[in-house]
Structure 1
Amino acid sequence: MTLTTTAAPGVRIRDLTVVYRTPHGELPAVRGVDLTLAPGTITGVVGESGSGKSTLALSLLNAVQPPGRIASGSVEIDGIGDVVRLGGERLRQTRGRRIGYVFQAAQNSLNPLKTIGKQLLDLGRSHGVEDLRGLVRDAKELLARMGMDGARVLDSYQHELSGGMRQRVGIMLALVLNAKVVVLDEPTTALDMITQAMILRIVREIHEERGLTTLIITHDVGAVAEIADDLAVMYGGRVVEHGPVEEVLGSPAHPYTQALIRAIPRLSGDLSLARPLPGRPPTLGTLPVTGCVFRERCDRRMPICETDDPAQVVAGGRTVACHAVVPPHAPAEPAMRKEYA
């Protein structure tokens, strides 16, 4: 298989705000997000439905569709520049060739009227690939790595493949052009546990072999614990905690992260320790304009949470946005934005 030898790029998301037009005006689905993906790492993003995870992922491709739009901020990727500022043919070529994306529902990204092989050739032609035979050869090899008969899959239509097979086809299409940044949106949703484990193992192996920078969006804390190097926790369109996955899950600092971990079902030990989060996550129409977005469900709520957005500060080796973690009037170490050349 032909592989590129360029180093994994760093990704720097700065002050990103994405809004959606509603009858009540433009409302933020993602607000003021700062997040760095270190070169060569896998970063997981977790949170409940509606937390802004998928909108954040689409922003890495500048692919937020109306009635949504990126209102402000930047997504800088080494070797590409600010994706938010790209447009036209350059943006189209960047998607797929430089940034691979695996959609949450793989069947929705496949054309039901064409075989997988024809869609592969269309992808190659649209990105100016001259060696189409080599592209097919690489695709078959990738599919074989994922436990499938490449020739049979390429001759199949999407309805002839199982959900797990379609998910692996999506991963193949995201990788076959040798993209160095890969975004996977809920890659194990609705799959059985054995298929989930296989897909996670494949993602990790290919990530390491190809030297990728990978972002995985998921609601499954257990899955991200197995594969990710870093973990970002989102709530109400904000990143409330971010750091090494072992530290975030081993000693969560933000009340929301703690509540997420408490809500995980248990198979052994004291089963009563698993407790659901009280209340419901906010919607676009119920997100507070000021103050902490988690305050309505937080058992550590303070008066300042009503009026002031908590700043991201360094606490215990990771960034946390919570007034209760760092007292609002005590000196706090500001969150450092580590830059990568």
Structure 2
Amino acid sequence: MRIDGLTVVYKTTAGELPAVRDVSLTLEPGSITGIVGESGSGKSTLALSLLNAVQPPGRISAGSVEIDGLGDVVGLRGEQLRKARGKHIGYVFQAAQNSLNPLKTVGKQLLDLGRSHGVEDLRGLVREARELLGRMGLDGARVLDSHQHELSGGMRQRVGIMLALVLNAHVVVLDEPTTALDMITQANILKIVREVHAERGLTTLVITHDIGVVAEVADRLAVMYGGRLVEQGPTREVLGSPRHPYTKGLIRAIPRLVGDIDEAQALPGRPPTLATVPKQGCVFRERCALRMDVCDDVDPEAVLQGTRTVACHAVTVKEHA
């Protein structure tokens, strides 16, 4: 999957405001890429864009999302787009536990999904679903016979993950896949994600606010703030030696299991909203200790530095000093 110059805007009384701005990212085949950022950073809007599923008053105003064997998702419409979702791209929505049809059993929804994508072996589809649910610690037969209200939030979340994987899509997007799950269940879900990813050779994107999740599963990490990607690179390198001041702040804010409790340092200020994100210049400048005059007027370019790209004027100046 190759995302190139993707911009998503929302129509408001103040005009069209960007929720995602000029995002470019390549997901290599067989890799797990994580996108991390605070609430409101544009992560979920970006995720919806990958399925061309942004609803009015939002729209994709620029850019492309190219998937091998499918082409540009942004250009798909109608039946082509419907078939691409699920068959080519599996998607676990944020709060997936609330996305099931309350009037149908999980099994009936599974069969509806299979029929809508032309699956001929529906019995095989059910067997696959039972196996996936079993690997996530659930009684597959019981879950398929259940309605939404008969399952806990964590069970419904795992059903959402099963539905994203069961059609054998080669690209899978998981938006906050461990939300509302206890620590043991979270660990189990991440283990299943890694195993199924490896077995099927998937291209996987995990979107989360939890750095611990991407540290556990992701090969590469992209950090998002104010609708822009500010740093990208191998996960271990980004977390072990962050370069962008926002990435550094995120990591400093993580509570430690050992040492003094006050070692965690909260980022000063608040993240921008759709209405307050700067129209030009660095989106992080109001919270940045390295702010320079150029940050007010000029968007920092994402500059390749070894195995990483960083969008920060101060870092670029330091590299060339």
TM-score calculated relative to the size of structure 2? 0.98
Aligned to 1:210: 200
- For 2:161, the aligned partner's letter is I
Where does residue 35 of structure 1 map in the other structure?
25
Secondary structure of 1:326's counterpart equals helix
Letter in 1 for 2:262: S
1:106 matches 2:96: yes
Q: For 1:236-277, what per-residue CA distance to the aligned partner results, in whole angstroms no more than 9, with x for missing partners?
A: 000000000000000000000000000001121243321111
- Please state how far the C-alpha of 1:107 moved relative to its aligned partner: 2.5
Instruction: Report the secondary structure of 2:316's partner residue.
Output: coil
SS at match of 1:284: coil
Give SS of 1:159's match.
Answer: helix
Conserved in 2, the CA contact under 8 Å of 1:315 and 1:325? no
Please name the residue that 1:256 is paired with. Answer: 246
Q: Does 1:315 align with 2:305?
A: yes
- Following TM superposition, by how much is the alpha carbon of 1:108 offset from its aligned partner in structure 2, in angstroms? 2.2
Q: Could you tell me which residue of structure 1 aligns to residue 154 of structure 2? A: 164
Looking at structure 2, the residues matched to 276 and 330 of structure 1 have their Cα atoms a distance apart, in angstroms, of 30
Residue 146 of structure 1, CA deviation: 1.5
Q: Distance in 1 between matches of 2:92 and 2:143?
A: 17
Unaligned residue ranges in structure 1 (runs of 5+): 1-10, 332-341
Q: Which amino acid aligns with 2:226?
A: G
Alignment of 1:272-283 (within 5 A): 272-283=262-273
In structure 1, C-alpha distance between the alignment counterparts of 2:217 and 2:140, rounded to whole Å: 25
The equivalent of 2:191 in structure 1 is: 201
Does structure 1 residue 179 correspond to structure 2 residue 169? yes
1:132-162, Cα deviation, whole Å (9 max, x unpaired):
1111111111111222111111000111112
Q: Indicate the larger mover: 233-242 or 107-116.
A: 107-116
Q: Tell me the distance in 2 between the aligned counterparts of 1:64 and 1:55.
A: 7
Q: State the AA in 1 paired with 2:6.
A: L
Indicate the RMSD between aligned Cα atoms, in angstroms: 1.3
The 2-side partners of 1:107 and 1:172 are apart by 12
* 8 Å CA contact 2:97, 2:154 repeated in 1: no
Would you say the 8 A contact 1:44–1:224 is kept in 2?
A: yes
Choose the corresponding residue for 2:258, options 249, 252, 268.
Answer: 268
- Identity across matched positions, percent: 78
After TM superposition, the score normalised by the length of structure 1 is: 0.92
Asked if the contact 1:57–1:185 (Cα under 8 Å) also holds between the matched residues in 2, the reply is yes
- What's the offset of the Cα at 1:209? 0.6
Matches of residues 83-122 of structure 1 in structure 2 within 5 Å?
A: 83-122=73-112
C-alpha contact (below 8 Å) 1:58/1:64 kept by paired residues: yes
The residue identity in structure 2 corresponding to 1:195 is: T
Letter aligned with residue 221 of structure 1: I
Determine the structure 2 residue equivalent to 1:339.
Answer: none
Give the secondary-structure state (helix, strand or coil) at the position aligned to 1:248.
Answer: helix
Give the letter for the 1:143 counterpart: L
Quick one: which of 141, 164, 183 aligns to 1:151? 141
Counterparts of 2:319 and 2:112 in 1: how far apart (Å)?
58
The residue number in structure 1 matching 2:63 is 73
Structure 1 residue 315 displacement after superposition:
2.2
Aligned residue pairs, count? 321
SS at match of 1:268: coil
